[in-house]
Amino acid sequence: MSKRMKICINTGGGDAPGLNAVIEAVTMAAYNRQWEVYGIKCGYTGLLNTDEIITLTPEKVNGIASVGGTILGTTNKGNPFMMPVCNAAGESELRDLSDRVMDNFRRLRFDALVAVGGDGSLDIAHRFAEKGMPVIGVPKTIDNDMGGTVITFGFDTAVSIATEAIDRLHSTAKSHDRVMVVEVMGRNAGFIALNSGISGNADVILIPEIPFEIDKICDKIMDNELHGHKYAIVVVAEGALPKGGDVISKGTGEAGRQHVVLGGIADYLSKEISRRTGKDSRSMVLGHLLRGGSPTTFDRLLSLRFGAAAVRAIEMGKFDHMVALHSPEIAMIPLGEALGIQKRVRPDGDVVLTGRDMGICFGD
């Protein structure tokens, strides 16, 4: 008979629809093997202050797969290798508390950790694996920028929400002959903007991988006008940037954050388009709406498959690996390998070509 394991799971980084489905699948797959499962609250925080650990049982997780967010909580400021702590002088400084996490993990006699996160959280997981922690990674992010997997869960839901919003904006933009500039998340990857923009019949799509020229955008809008199409929908990724220019950022935000906070490009473009074309223009930011609510069926199933596969990976002893979708199967690939790949939209890929064939302007 195989060993009765004691495993734990945490969710780190920005939340994404499907996190609860992973938690449900991990709990059920472990329970059906007579293993014990624990949930670590708020990323790695629960392994620093161990009163933040809860027992997971079938009763606790039953039906949570359809619910957005994460019952374990999450943070994108909780890197134990660089934790903001208050020093004796009352100032915040970054300290390496990873040994405390390792000590607690061993003291609690955990056999494995399932770390669910994007590139930042999985990089932390990989560093713990190098310190000797048996870790399995599960890739999540609405941005879909994780290498090594065809897709991450959360992305399909984010694209669906963005597409529905764009569909709705057509009628109001048309009624007022306006330009609507819609900003979507995605950090330095344009997948959400590209997929929702094409599906939502946008006139212009701007992504980080194809730097734009404002003149090209205005030419497209005025050309539409000449052909009797008096309104326009511009979908812009938060990380889009002008040729030779830079992204618009709000700085690094809170102490201990790994990434800068992007945002503001839609407002900038809307004003600039209005100034140059004389057309009425409005901007809107979909922001965190893309991360909220119930996962699509695709994301729910992918998350459940990832969760169950993570438990199988533990059973096989395949640590420091990440579960990944290699369609149609779930594969297990070394975490270090996946983290070395930055996934971005291919400007010459078929999705961009589809957009171009449909007459969509990419601002280049």
Which residue, 160, 191, 182, is CA-closest to 293? Answer: 160
Judged by beta carbon, residue 17 or residue 200, the one nearer ligand F6P is 17
The answer to whether 203 and 235 have CB atoms below 8 angstroms apart is no
Does 143 contact ligand F6P by CB under 6 A?
yes
Active site residue 143: yes
Pairwise CA distance, residues 244 & 252, whole Å: 22
Judged by beta carbon, residue 27 or residue 160, the one nearer ligand F6P is 160
Tokens of 188: 């330095």
Tokens of 124: 């932390």
Pairwise CA distance, residues 35 & 6, whole Å: 6
**x/- letters, 144..183, toward ligand F6P (CB under 6 A):** ----------------------------------------
Pairwise CA distance, residues 210 & 17, whole Å: 28
What is the number of the residue whose Cβ is closest to ligand F6P? 185
Q: What DSSP letter does each residue of 86-136 carry, written as one string?
A: E-TTS-EEEE--HHHHHHHHHHTT-SEEEEEESHHHHHHHHHHHHTT--EE
Could you give the residue ranges of the DSSP H alpha helices within 263-349? 265-277, 297-316, 335-339
Does 141 contact ligand F6P by CB under 6 A?
yes
Judged by beta carbon, residue 218 or residue 248, the one nearer ligand F6P is 248
User: Considering only residues 122, 146, 262, 302, which one is a binding residue for ligand F6P as defined by CB under 6 A?
Assistant: 262
Supply the minimum distance, in Å, between the C-beta of residue 156 and ligand F6P. 15
Binding residues for ligand F6P restricted to 60-99, rule: CB under 6 A = 76
User: Considering only residues 5, 8, 12, 14, which one is a binding residue for ligand F6P as defined by CB under 6 A?
Assistant: 14
Does 56 contact ligand F6P by CB under 6 A?
no
Does 186 contact ligand F6P by CB under 6 A?
yes
Residue ranges in contact with ligand F6P by CB under 6 A: 14, 76, 118, 141-143, 185-187, 238, 261-262, 291
Q: Active-site residues: which are they?
A: 143
